[in-house]
Structure 1
Amino acid sequence: MVGGSVGLARRRRQVVILLFEGFSLIHMGRLAETFSLANRLRHPDNALHNYYDLRLVSASGGAIRSSSGVLIWTDAVDSHYAKDVHALFALGAANVPVESDERLLSWLRHTHPHAQVVQGIGGAYGVLELAGLESKDVAVTDTTGGAMTTGALSATRTAGIDADAGAALTSALSVVKRDCGYETASQVAHDLLPVTPKQFTHSVFNSREARASDLIRTSAHQLRVSSENRVSIADAAQAVAMSERNFLRRFKQEIGVTPTEFVLRVRLEKACHMLVDTDLPADKIARRTGLGSGDRLAKLFRQHLSMSPTEYRTLERNRLAENGLAEPGVIKRARRPVS
């Protein structure tokens, strides 16, 4: 069993998304969802065995704030072997240069020769220049059906994504096409464009789940799908045949947070979806996501996102419209009046 697990890990292709302060959550989400969709299409009946291993990293690790104020937890970039990186995407704030970090630059120089794709978005493109490196890409015509990714790039540009992000997404689709075949890549492009927050946010927050052991990954999945209900740590531990103490230790070690913290993040994630996708009041959203009351939801949003639920709803809907992902009227029609 151990040998089989090691063999599986070796076959996974490591996709690294390097984040800098002020990065676009939408751009990151599109890249993450590209490889998440490829995983699901490649193993539709076994979500526990991923072909791509998504890693979110930053220069020193820890929480990195997106342009919309959402904090994303990352690993330190030098915690990953450079030679294992299959594709690297660096995301930074638009028109904001990235500060020089010699340790990061050294890691990039060691990673560049091994990665099939290296792309920078926004200010993060400058970090490649600081390291004396250029972008790398998979040849668009390296397999039959090369026009697919060119069409995808055109679609992203008409959707209002800037040139850097469009090129990075095209590179991601090219990687999927070469690794998994034209049909899989075409289906990914079809499912991905146009993209909405509901389609990509899950993949953004589950990169550590993808690397966890089967038991902990199964537990995380069960906690996620039942997060609206009362969570019992004892029941969760029993479901994977562990003592409560061992379960808590393993979960924190592999996922990075306690089961209780994990469920809270999932509930907040679902609340974010519902704020953007529906016109439900905050109090009803809080009850439906397991957060109790509108007052508690507001307190948690202030604590974790530094804004109120109403401010988040307005900001994200405006951001979608400004990025061309949907016209305001389209966004309004897309909201489901859930009763």
Structure 2
Amino acid sequence: MQEKKGRSVARHIAILLFDGFALLSTSAIAEIFQLANEIYRSRNHDHTPYKVTFYSAKGAKIRCSSAIDVWTCACDSSDVSEFDAVFIADGPGVGNALLDSRIVNWLSDLVGRGAEIAPIGEGWRLLDAAVRNRHARTFSGGMVAAVNGKGVGTSLYDMADGVEPAENALNMVGKDIGEETAREISVRIRPVGGDGLSLIFPATREDSATEKIRAAAQWIRQNCDHVTSVREAVGVAAMSERNFLRRFKQEIGVTPSEYLTQARLDLTSRLLVETRLPIDSIAKQCGWTSGARLSRVFKRRFAATPTEFRARLACRRLPA
């Protein structure tokens, strides 16, 4: 759904299941779109941007590898042209699913119309089979495409290009209804902990940046709690301010100011969940100057106060 274009029809997301699919990795995709719907509706919209439907070869109940049943629609019950994106489940049942011509033919039809397809884990084997099946059925139309290490025609699939399916789903949400919504969902579905900027930061290009810009980005992250201006990072990069601002945005993908904000948000989110410090104390420790300013930023970014944010993430954490 492209809100900026005034589209109000929900995008149809299909998730292909089979007996023995992996529930955890598949449900994560469904949850991303469900959270997007919840957040979108909470902002006083009268419709939801996504419709998620589970499909299988013959429909009805499908049992996952954890012995939990999920209700599905039959693959041939919907016109493939109505799907905006299709995710293929992972799991030990992939081998048997490869032998089901209904699944392979359905995916082949999706391949034929250039659908956006994102295989989860071993789900790539089903997509590969569909590509080969399609190629066997037609010898025209440019079906011989660039092939990646898993045999999937990458030039045919916008979403099957080496990117994790969850990232594809988040990228879709970001493009459709805003990067702020994608960031909030990312925070809510990913476990707290680890190193770096895993909670808040969207994908950046630090690994491919030049040494000077990469050093400046690292300095901003390490000093986000007390730095007052990104101009202080100019000295680290040993560049003119004008050149630094241009090169940073070009190489990292966001401006230095946005990068600083994201670094503070990441540090703040960790302290909110991993400590019981008061909001005002966390605000000062993360460079926000006051709890009031922190609250304004959080409301704008995540449609939630820091207290609400803390409660949301706390209830999602697994016990130690």
- TM-score (normalizing by structure 2): 0.46
Whichever structure has more helix as a proportion of its residues is 1
- TM-score (normalizing by structure 1): 0.44
